[in-house]
Amino acid sequence: MNESEAVRALKEDDKAAFGYLFRCYYDRLVAYITTYSQDKVLSEDIVQQAFINLWEDRMKLDPERSPKNYLYTIARNRYIDSVKKEKKYNKLLDELWEKALQERTAEDSEQLERRAERIKKVMESLPPKCREIIRLNKMEGIKYKDIAVQMDISVKTVESQMRIAFQKIREAFKDDHLVIFIMSRIFRKKRGSTSEKV
């Protein structure tokens, strides 16, 4: 059987003729598409689809012409379509990712606002002396010993007031692990070096 005979037989629904053309061109078509795709599995899928198209369009084939050009053209067009679909898919993924980031940013902003409001309420609930000590230490960066001198109290009192403030914040943010972690670092004491607190 040659190609012309195979095409004529194919137009008569001869599956053996289809098998003959498949064996003649399958491997060569896969190798051809793989030079573009660099993906043998994808190339095999594309070539298989090209042969499905060959079978579906068998009545349109010209027995006087080799099916080679038809198969190569179909396979190449299928590959181009796959590239376009992949680009659209990647674009969709990018858009979804960007949207997710925007939503996360909005969520983070709202969460930050809620945290700030809660901290403000905690600060307002503290005794005046305690609130002033936190302001001096955490907002102005004044050391414990200098706060003690400025407010005419002992360093131990400063430390005690800071512990009270920390406890209030911990209670207010017991469900917010990030704030607790940050506060534990801010208020962490180095034994024997209270003068280095800022």
> What string of pLDDT tens digits covers the 198 residues of the chain?
787 788 889 888 888 988 988 998 899 999 988 988 888 898 999 999 999 988 988 888 888 888 888 888 889 888 888 888 878 767 766 776 666 666 655 556 667 677 777 777 888 888 888 888 888 887 778 889 999 999 999 999 999 888 888 888 778 777 765 555 555 554 554 333 344 443
Distance CA(190)–CA(136), nearest Å, equals: 19
Torsion-angle region of 192 (φ positive above 0: left; ψ -120 to 50: alpha; else: beta): left
The residue among 61, 66, 29 whose CA lies nearest residue 46 is: 29
Hey, where are the domains in the chain?
3-93, 126-196
Class of domain 3-93 (CATH, top level): mainly alpha
In CATH, the number for domain 126-196 is 1.10.10
